[in-house]
Amino acid sequence: MYRLLTDEDSGLDDWRNNVNECLELAYRYDLVDADLEARLKKGDRESWQSTMNELRVARVIEEIFGRGCLRWHPQGKKQKVGEYELVTNRIDTSIFVEVKTVFPRDIERLENRIIYKLRRYAGQVPIPSHLHVHIEVLGTSESFSGRRFKDFLFRELSAINPNDLAKKESKLPDYKDNSTGLHLKIETLLIKPKEKEQNCHIGVIGGGARSLENEAYIKHSLSKAYEQLPSGEKPCLVIICPSTAFPIDEDGMLDALLGHLAIRYYLQNGGPIKEPETIRKPDGFFQPHRNRKVSAVGLYKGRNVENPLEIYHNPCGRNPIPDSMLMKEGIRQLVKASDTEMKWI
């Protein structure tokens, strides 16, 4: 914010104009309150960018559908600005819109942040030990809150008799970092303290971190957005925004939503019976038995782009959005062509 206001570089004029237009929209919809001001002023780059992207997407939708097309919910389920409805015609057919910005996590920075978070709790347990922290790909795990994790350390590790300690490993329950969706496998290495040591505490050291594919970040952002969607029959559109350091292309969206590409071979008696075919593996966000509340996912491609919005319709969505409702200049749509194919229109 400081650079935006004070830097005299003319190259920033376009940026400043865009920010002014977004703030004009926020004032027009009476969105400027203490919460919005705090998000813009607190100096956190991710908070700033996610807030501005919510307003930028709203501006693009207004440019495409015209002023008055938005019905804003200043306070959503989690008391945050950013939830609104797109009213598409005179009979008040509306689409609920949720905007999410995808932020990648530098693995080393993420690991250090999580280690620091765990150290706050582990450091209060008077048992000498080390916690090996391993970051793994998204998966199923019990979500431990900070309080529960600290309670676990006190209950389990404080019950150990220091006189019986030998170098051995034990397993703690998986820990889920709620801000990223990453799951941690945590092991303890118990070390008997030296005679002169007193009030020994648990030390935390980093384990081997595994880099995530871009699709994992996209799907995690979609899962977070899914929690904020309303129940009922209203169509829901989740719009994904790339962050500055995390560009998202069409291939990344297709892998995240429809699944990764694979080759299927048909064999009989050890030999092929027909030509192999290209398929999508069933590891995408769009699934027949889950995530059906999402009618479509949009990709906001940025300012000054000829077609700023791409819409990927969910072929399994419970409340589909007719492609005719979004048939506007500036929107490219991937729609269901058959039970096995999608096509761009």
Per-residue pLDDT of 118-151, as tens digits, reads 666 666 666 656 666 665 544 444 445 566 666 7
Number of continuous H segments (helices) and E segments (strands) in the chain: 8, 15
pLDDT for 76:
46
Q: What is the mean pLDDT of residues 65-70?
A: 89
Per-residue confidence band for 50, with pLDDT thresholds at 50, 70 and 90: confident
Domain positions in the chain: 63-104+215-344, 107-209
Of 64, 68, 76, 83, the C-alpha closest to 311 is: 64
**Which of 207 and 14 is assigned the larger pLDDT?**
14
Q: Which residues lie below 8 Å from residue 279, measured CB to CB, with a gap of 6+?
A: 261, 262, 263, 264
* 131 touches 186 (CB < 8 A): yes
Of 198, 62, 202, 197, the C-alpha closest to 132 is: 202
Instruction: Quote the tokens at residue 229.
Output: 């969607």
* Residue 330 burial class via C-beta count within 10 angstroms: exposed 0-12, middle 13-18, buried 19 and up: middle
Per-residue confidence band for 84, with pLDDT thresholds at 50, 70 and 90: confident
Residues 95, 105: Cα–Cα separation, whole Å: 31
Task: Count the Cβ atoms, other than its own, within 10 Å of residue 302.
Answer: 13
pLDDT for 187:
64
- CA-to-CA dists, residue 172 to 82, 165, 186, angstroms: 38, 17, 6
**Which of 173 and 98 is assigned the larger pLDDT?**
98
The pair phi, psi for residue 46, each rounded to 5°, is -70, -40
Per-residue confidence band for 242, with pLDDT thresholds at 50, 70 and 90: confident
Of 157, 145, 227, 142, the C-alpha closest to 189 is: 157
Q: What is the mean pLDDT of residues 257-271?
A: 81
The pair phi, psi for residue 325, each rounded to 5°, is -70, -25
Q: Mean pLDDT highest for which of 25-34, 158-167, 316-325?
A: 316-325
